[in-house]
Amino acid sequence: MQTDTIIYITIAAITALLLALFQYLYKSKLKSNLKYLLTALRTISIFCILLLLINPKFESYTYFDEKPTLVIAVDDSESISYLKQDQKANDIVTALNTNDELNERFNIKAYRFGKSVTTLDSLNFNERQSNLSQALSQFGEVYANQTAPIVVLSDGNQTYGSDYSYIAKGIKQPIYPVILGDSTVHSDLSIKQLNVNRYVYLKNKFPVEIIANYSGNDAIHTELKIWSGNSVVFRKMLQFDASKTSEIVSTALMANSVGVKTYRAELVALDNEKNTVNNTKNFGVEVIDQKTNIALVYGRLHPDLGALKKAIESNEQRSVSILKPDAYLNKISDFQLVILYQPNTSFNSVLKEIENQKINSFVISGTTTNWNLLNESQSYFKQTITNQTENYQPSLNRNHGTFIVENLDFNSFPPLKSEFGPLKISVPHDVMLYKTINGITTDDILLATFEANSTKHAILMGEDIWRWRAQSFLNTNRFNGFDEFINKLVQYLSSNKQRQRINIDYKSFYNGNDDVLISAQYFNKNYEFDASASLSIVLKNTDNNTTREIPLLLNNGTYSVDLSGIDAGLYDFTIKHNSEAVTASGSFQVLEYNVELQFLNADITKLQALANLSEGQAYFTSEYKTLIGDLLSDNRYKTIQKSIKNIVPLIDWKYLLGLIALSLFMEWFIRKYNGLI
């Protein structure tokens, strides 16, 4: 209790006593000893009331023992079973979980990880990706304020995510890798990496870069071949030895026809090579006939221009030219879509040509937009002119049905600045984003699309969209989400296809370890999104003519199906409504490749470096008993006595209120009984 509080309590006690003495002793007519009892009761009442006004706080402590946490993380990927380490992993996990001394010393928490981290219930070793860096990062965050050594059972071969060597530097907990794998070095050839563009153009050559690796001590020679079907389109002899273990091979192949083209890169295997799976790698490209050319017309420079160009050109099928209005008019026939950024008086001729030639457009307004010009140049929408600006955050319209839009956590996006007042669109339109002000979603349009006179248009009410792209990166560590959002909008605007009642979203080909996700939206006859439809996909493997039907599930405003894990091959599919004659079809190809089967040995060097960086230690599977002993003997992992400090204000003490009521009642009763009232 503070000194000031003690002084106030002392003053309150003296004040209460003086007031009671003044009332019952000073010039009092009471002659009996009754006045002393009444003085005491009055002193208690006044003192307790003053105490409530002072409201002193009392501290109490609760002590408890906290054991350190032992985190066990097991790699549940296919590479563990491929290296024949699955049984050893199970045995070690069981030994750690059932050890009585470890359970007495630690709170044991067990997890398994592949592409993501989950609580350990059973081990299947069927994950097609392993992301050790994500697992370590999550453990570092969850147990940041605890003593929690981390035991990692893994072969150290990560196939997804950031390099775990760098993640370890930011984790405060010691890490103890248990190495699952063979330390013996075998002669092995592998295609470490293959780089190729996803899209290429007809009659153009496209580059292919292959990194070929060799592990071993003997001098060897092999041949690198690239196959297209049954034909070899490229070959090169390679030589390796103990000093030359890698070579980068670059070539260029010709795209002769439109569509998805698949190839196979192959290193001819050695006579005594144990793992030949990593000698081949399939890859594919989509050959397209031409690029979509988009004009981004501006009246003033702004960071939004660069952000839009980067986002749109992340799709190699599209090219963006940033032009002044006059320059655009000279090349107007070269473009399939025009983006008008903050139109002003210099856009007058551009707006007339868009109207006359029926060109699809995307208008982005801002603080310098000339709304008088825009309102007069077309009859589709009108903005109330207030000559005031406001900041608006986005809110996704989940009933938007023009095309499939993923929720990018728009609520976290920074606001856009635009003209204050509502926008009215006089033709049928579809609102994609509403305006949110101070956390309240309004009915005002922030982003909408509409079709009129056989043309497609969109309007965005606000500048500073570059901040959205930056926020998307902060949320997900990549720009892909925002870029795909903009590209879907551009794809819709640059196409003149009629609207369908089932819209589907998929890729033309998937690499072997990609998630094969197909999404769809269904609309009723009035083109309103129907969340109660029953949709299914009929999937046909054209290689063996097998067919199966799978229902689509509604998730966040879209119907979707996850086909990950299907066999490699070419597939045709049809999405149909189960009670109406409405369908949509497509095809895709899954390339054969399993990254988890590319490894012959554990990455011992990297796991040992991980242990050293975190002040832990690495162990082989035969040394797990030594690991248990080291954990038990390490003085860093002692049980800690902690305390909880409780601060209770006196006003919460109900007994004091009872004492006040009791003393006042007794004083009143005594005075009443003796005729003093």
Residue 258: Cβ within 10 Å count: 12
Structure tokens at 477: 């560590």
End-to-end CA distance of the chain: 41
Mean pLDDT value of segment 494-510: 77
Write b or e for each residue in 357-396: b if 16 or more Cβ atoms lie within 10 A of its Cβ, otherwise e: eebbbbbbbbeebbbeebeebbebbbbeeeeeebbbbbbb
Residue 406: Cβ within 10 Å count: 15
Q: Which residue has the higher pLDDT, 593 or 13?
A: 13
User: For the ranges 179-183, 341-345, 377-381, which has the lowest average pLDDT?
Assistant: 179-183
581-588's contacts with Cβ under 8 Å and 24+ in sequence apart are: 582/501, 582/502, 582/522, 583/502, 584/500, 584/502, 584/503, 584/504, 584/520, 586/504, 586/506, 587/508, 588/506, 588/507, 588/508, 588/509, 588/510, 588/516
Q: What is the mean pLDDT of the chain?
A: 86
Residue 96: C-alpha distances to residues 91, 105, 139, 153 (Å): 9, 12, 18, 11
Measured distance CA(607)–CA(617) in Å, rounded: 9
Q: What is the pLDDT of residue 238?
A: 92
Measured distance CA(628)–CA(127) in Å, rounded: 28
| Residue linked to tokens 């006089």 | 426
Strand-pair category, 517-522 with 502-505: antiparallel
Q: What is the pLDDT of residue 176?
A: 93
Under 8 Å between Cβ of 397 and 360: no
Kindly tell me if the per-residue pLDDT of 597 is higher than 70. no
Read off the pLDDT band of 27 (50, 70, 90): low
Q: Which helix (H) or strand (E) holds 215?
A: strand 205-215
Structure tokens at 281: 């790698």
Residue 675's SS3 state is: coil
Under 8 Å between Cβ of 175 and 97: no
For the chain, give the percent of residues with pLDDT over 70: 96
Kindly tell me if the per-residue pLDDT of 497 is higher than 70. no
Mean pLDDT value of segment 328-336: 90
Structure tokens at 41: 């009761």
Structure tokens at 88: 């050893």
Residue 65: C-alpha distances to residues 103, 105, 110, 638, 644 (Å): 15, 12, 22, 10, 11
Residue 624: C-alpha distances to residues 94, 178, 208, 218, 306 (Å): 11, 8, 45, 34, 55
| Residue linked to tokens 């969109």 | 458
Those residues with Cβ within 8 angstroms of residue 169's Cβ, 6 or more apart along the chain or in another chain: 613
Beta bridge partners of 234: 226
Residue 441's SS3 state is: strand
Q: Which residue has the higher pLDDT, 507 or 294?
A: 294
Residue 240: C-alpha distances to residues 111, 203, 244, 248, 401 (Å): 41, 35, 5, 12, 57
Number of residues written out for the chain:
677
Kindly tell me if the per-residue pLDDT of 370 is higher than 80. yes
Closest to 75 (Cα-Cα) out of 136, 153, 165 = 153
Rounded-to-10 torsion of CA 41, 45, 48, 53: -160
Those residues with Cβ within 8 angstroms of residue 235's Cβ, 6 or more apart along the chain or in another chain: 223, 224, 225, 226
Closest to 143 (Cα-Cα) out of 69, 217, 195 = 69
Kindly tell me if the per-residue pLDDT of 595 is higher than 70. no
Q: What is the pLDDT of residue 28?
A: 67
Is residue 8 left, alpha or beta, with left meaning phi > 0 and alpha meaning psi from -120 to 50? alpha
Residue 495's SS3 state is: coil
Measured distance CA(391)–CA(51) in Å, rounded: 51
User: For the ranges 17-31, 235-249, 410-424, 477-491, which has the lowest average pLDDT?
Assistant: 17-31
Name the DSSP letter for residue 581. Answer: S
Q: What is the DSSP string of 77-110?
A: BHHHHHTT-HHHHHHHHHHHHH-HHHHHH-EEEE
Residue 12's SS3 state is: helix
Kindly tell me if the per-residue pLDDT of 131 is higher than 90. no
Q: Which helix (H) or strand (E) holds 654?
A: helix 654-673
| pLDDT tens, residue by residue, 145-179 | 888 899 999 988 887 777 887 777 778 889 999 99
Q: What is the pLDDT of residue 77?
A: 86
**For the sheet containing 188-196, what is the strand order?**
188-196, 205-215, 246-254
Structure tokens at 565: 């894990």
Q: What is the pLDDT of residue 95?
A: 92
Those residues with Cβ within 8 angstroms of residue 166's Cβ, 6 or more apart along the chain or in another chain: 133
Cα angle 71, 76, 80; round to 5: 115
| Residue linked to tokens 């563990």 | 80
Closest to 190 (Cα-Cα) out of 568, 595, 591 = 595
| pLDDT tens, residue by residue, 472-481 | 999 888 898 8
Kindly tell me if the per-residue pLDDT of 508 is higher than 90. no
| Residue linked to tokens 């999104």 | 529
Q: Which helix (H) or strand (E) holds 53?
A: helix 34-54
Under 8 Å between Cβ of 227 and 263: yes
* DSSP H helix total and E strand total for the chain: 16, 36
Mean pLDDT value of segment 90-99: 92
Residue 112: C-alpha distances to residues 104, 124, 396, 549 (Å): 23, 10, 35, 32
Read off the pLDDT band of 183 (50, 70, 90): low
**Burial class, 471, CB count within 10 angstroms (exposed 0-12 / middle 13-18 / buried 19+):** middle
Measured distance CA(299)–CA(325) in Å, rounded: 7
> What are the backbone angles phi and psi of residue 94, rounded to the nearest 5°?
-60, -40
Residue 476: Cβ within 10 Å count: 13
| pLDDT tens, residue by residue, 337-348 | 999 999 999 999
Mean pLDDT value of segment 446-459: 89
Q: Which residue has the higher pLDDT, 498 or 209?
A: 209
546 HSE (CA, 13 A, CB side): 7
Under 8 Å between Cβ of 396 and 373: no
> What are the backbone angles phi and psi of residue 42, rounded to the nearest 5°?
-65, -40
Q: What is the pLDDT of residue 600?
A: 65
